[in-house]
Amino acid sequence: MPPNTTATSGDKPGKSGRKKGRKARLIVLVLVLAVIGGLAFGGYWSISTVRASFPQTKGSITLEGLSGPVDVKRDGYGIPQIYASSDEDLFMAQGYVQAQDRFYEMDVRRHMTSGRLSEMFGKGQIDNDEFLRTLGWDRIAKKEYDEKLSDSTKKYLKAYADGVNAYLKGRDAEDISLEYAALGFANDYTPAEWTPVDSISWLKAMAWDLRGNMQDEIDRALMTSRLGPQQIAELYPEYPYTVDGQSNTIVQQGEYNELTEAFEQGDGTSGSGAGSTSGTTGTSGTTGTSGTTSGSGTSGDTTGLQSQLEGLYNVLEDLPTAVGVNGNGIGSNSWVVSGDHTITSKPLLANDPHLSASLPSVWYQMGLHCRTVSSTCQYDVSGYTFAGMPGVIIGHNQDIAWGMTNSGADVTDLYLEKLSGDGYLYDGKVKPFTSRTETIKVAGGASKKIVVRETQDGMPLLSDRSKQLVKVGQKATVDNAAPDRGDGYGVALKWTALEAGTTMDAVFAIDRAKDWDGFRDAAESFDVPSQNLIYADTDGNIGYQLPGKIPTRAKGDDGSVPVAGWDSGNKWTGDIPFDALPYEYNPKRGYIVTANQAVVDPDTYPYTLTTDWGYGTRSQRITDLIEQKIKGDGKISTDDMRQMQTDNSSEVAKLLVPALLKINLDDPDVREAQDLLQGWDYVQDADSAAAAYFNAVWRNILKLAFGNKLPKELRVEGQCLWVDPAKSTSPVDDTGKVRECGQRDADQAQPDGGDRWFQVVRNLMDKKDSDWWTTPKSASGRLGAVANRDDLFERAMIDARWELTAKLGKDIDTWSWGRLHRLFLKNQTLGTSGPGFLQYVLNRGPWKLGGGEAAVDATGWNAAGGYGVVWVPSMRMVVNLDDLDKSKWINLTGASGHAFSAHYTDQTGKWAKGELLDWSFSEKAVDKSTSDTLVLKP
């Protein structure tokens, strides 16, 4: 036992019942036998090594620093509910318990956010560390802690860190987690103490995940090598602000300050506002979602810009997947229904954030309860938090419930910088960079020093981290208004999260809010990332608030393309005032849906939030399901909300299948597959053969119509095509074609098949002779060129039939969507890059899933790369404001990060089936569900 802790009883790890305990012991025994049999690398692990890191969940432990006893009650899934008598004790215990379950995950996260992965994993992580050091997340987090956060927040962060460190004290790394034992074969590593800044830094990683339209900004510019402005506009169509006469925005009856003083004076601080849909043309030749074109200071030949952005993308693509799927396609669902439409006459609130699948899940479930809520102990809250961070991020307290989805607000811009000597050009003068030297320590190797340069307003020069970005000025062509290229242009990043903020204050303020006014007051501090916040309370009120630090831009810039950094007119002009941010409170319709659709109609709102919304497919479907239920005074139950969360309906199938069924096919085998679509209800269940075939057809439609026409920078790595020469020069064969191979990872390529592509195809359905429907003859020569929509659909149906024959067999009776659409859960470090045996030990799966891209049950897959699941509903919850103990929740994996704990993935099977667990909140309900109790003593 480590110093300063004493186990008085039950010092073996607790189990939730004999069956789970027996299963865990069997797994451990199998592991040890395998290792002894010689399957491990460099040595073997004993049973004691495997079990050493399992948490003590029964008996008592003495912790220095507590002012009174703390009870930790775990249910049959290992989910902890903590009871204390002071705020500091509560958060110290939270730190201790999360470290028990997840410290390795916490340690990896803090190394990632601070750019120190090389300290753990060696030289292969140096490039990642260089990029993350350049962003400087931990430096900004420290500034927040030192200068921005309230004294109470600092006190809680310090108490949390004390709890983590109490767990670490006296423990060797291999006693903390199995992964450390594996790392011990390669290097001598000892975890450092936890600090408050470590907790704050993770908020920066989440903000990076949800940073807005940066990826679209890059992709639009990359498209210019092969596509013209009109073609790009067709691939980024205008957002449908109304659908079938109904508003397709979150806020429909909202209140906000439509005209601030600055807007009334016409100084341009509102950005392009409603004008973002005007279709005006700038100088860059790139087009945004709204159909506009904005100048970036470059024009004509865009080869240089291509090189810049390709290089930047390559850096972003290599970041660890623990940060997310780099912003591509990720969304979330949340909605709230008032008591007028529920069986309890009180609100119901649902939420399921969509993130990349990780093991363990990014979320950690727990309850934080003051035995008596008072001025010295203010919390009675339960929900989802991040391992490594105090408080609860999403959930409910005794009075209110809340959920979050990504707003998609554009909070990043890329700036082209004219480099000159040791500085950069700004309004005709050379400004010096501010710079700092960073030393990257490397496990098993020599340290590396890098110099990080920033502009005077704090924008890091990302081009210093990529050789391709350094070469930008060697190729860029500029117009007369831009400076001579000289030694070249750099690329700098402007991002709201690179300024110190107060989001950590907001977390605690929301946790203790008691009503709508308190909730909005808390939301005002929630500056990064900008989220859609939905709300309900036990008094029956529902609401929505958009928070966040959202910039305003001058000169009509809508943030959709890179801009010229040498012109001060392109600076951000400020932030949208909180009082001017959209919200709704008790709308007459009786519900609010947020699923990454547009927040407001720009015709009624003076500020530009973004030009790159999700296109509203999920939000429309959720709205339809609610309306269908309440029509005729129907009432919605908790289980109705659960069923809505798992709705698998394919909206694009409803559009395409009628047309596909009209295609005359000569091949009887292809007709046999086509017949699967006859009478199909468009539901994408895991066992559906029709869903498998339709999604294969959809994938091939996208490939033929769009994918093969995109530049190599957007296509799947290794997929090569003979194409017409682009604007750049490449070797040409005898037919005048050039061979170009894709450069992106399969889960990042385009067309990804998301609802933007639904909208693209919807707009083209009646344009049967559009150039997009034309294709050359097939590579094999077996199929000729096609010149219209129906011919392309025919080829897609043929190609899909033979693709699935190769993947699933010729007998269509054996086909199912779940055989294609599988989820593998991988440990995000050693489970992805460790030795094969270690990956076998740490990873889990596969699970055959239903759902799909842009379905409410959003098990995302990338149509350019394949059918495998790349992002998921990372958790699901339904809060019942009439009786909080009747609320439901589920996590993607389990409470534990220990590979052979019974709680490693014990929720995944139910999650895959769309089931939810009981969510106890009151002390009586918690006691009833408790399996193990641990007392932490002062």
Q: Please name the residues in contact with 399: beta carbons below 8 A apart, sequence gap of 6 or more.
A: 513, 514, 515, 537, 538
Q: How far apart, in Å, are the Cα atoms of 209 and each of 215, 316, 321, 324? A: 11, 11, 10, 6
pLDDT at 46 over 80: no
How does strand 930-937 pair with strand 332-337? unpaired
Q: Are 871 and 357 in contact (CB under 8 A)?
A: yes
Distance CA 682, CA 688 (A): 10
Identity of the highest mean pLDDT range in 361-375, 403-417, 457-471: 361-375
pLDDT given for residue 685 in this prediction? 98
Rounded CA-CA distance 70/367 in Å is: 13
CB 720 within 8 A of CB 741: yes
Please indicate whether residue 476 or residue 700 has the higher confidence score (pLDDT).
700
Mean pLDDT over 288-311 rounds to 41
Torsion of CA 383, 388, 389, 393, to 10 degrees: -30
pLDDT band at 471 (very low <50, low <70, confident <90, very high): very low
DSSP 3-state of 773? helix
Give the confidence band of 225 by pLDDT, cuts at 50, 70, 90: confident
The CA distance from 898 to 614, in Å, is 36
Say what the pLDDT of residue 779 is. Answer: 54
Per DSSP, the three-state class of 333 is strand
Evaluate if residue 908 carries a pLDDT over 60.
yes
CB 450 within 8 A of CB 437: yes
Contacts of 486 (CB under 8 A, 6+ apart): 418, 419, 420, 473
pLDDT at 702 over 50: yes
Report residue 498: phi and psi, to 5°.
Answer: -90, 10
> Which range among 42-51, 251-260, 307-316, 489-498 shows the weakest confidence by mean pLDDT?
307-316
Bridge partner list, 564: 416
pLDDT per position as a tens digit, 89-128: 999 999 999 999 999 999 999 999 999 999 988 888 898 8
More confident residue, 510 or 778: 510
Residue 828 confidence (pLDDT): 79
Q: What is the pLDDT of residue 286?
A: 31
The pLDDT score that the predictor gives to residue 318 is 55
User: CA 622, CA 617: separation in Å to the nearest integer?
Assistant: 9
H or E element: which one contains 154? Answer: helix 151-168
Beta strands in 130-213 (DSSP E): none
**What CA–CA distance (Å, rounded) separates 824 from 867?**
12
Question: Average pLDDT of the chain?
Answer: 84
pLDDT at 844: 95
pLDDT exceeds 50 at position 268 = no
Q: Which of 336-345, 548-557, 649-658 has the lowest mean pLDDT?
A: 548-557
Question: What pLDDT digit, counting tens, does each position of 581-601 carry?
Answer: 999 999 999 999 999 999 999
Q: Rounded distance, CA 638 to CA 648, Å?
A: 18
CA 721/CA 707 separation, integer angstroms: 11
Predicted confidence (pLDDT) at residue 336 exceeds the cutoff of 70: yes
The pLDDT tens digits for 703-754 are 999 999 998 889 999 889 888 776 544 444 445 688 889 988 888 899 999 9
Residue count (the chain): 938
**Is the model's pLDDT at 789 over the cut of 80?**
yes
> What token pair was written down for 420?
């000159």
Give the count of beta carbons closer than 10 Å to the beta carbon of residue 543.
23
Helix/strand/coil for 924: helix
Bigger pLDDT: 7 vs 724: 724
Beta-sheet strands, E only, within 688-821: 720-723, 738-741
Q: What is the per-residue pLDDT for 302?
A: 42
Q: Does pLDDT of 296 surpass 60?
A: no
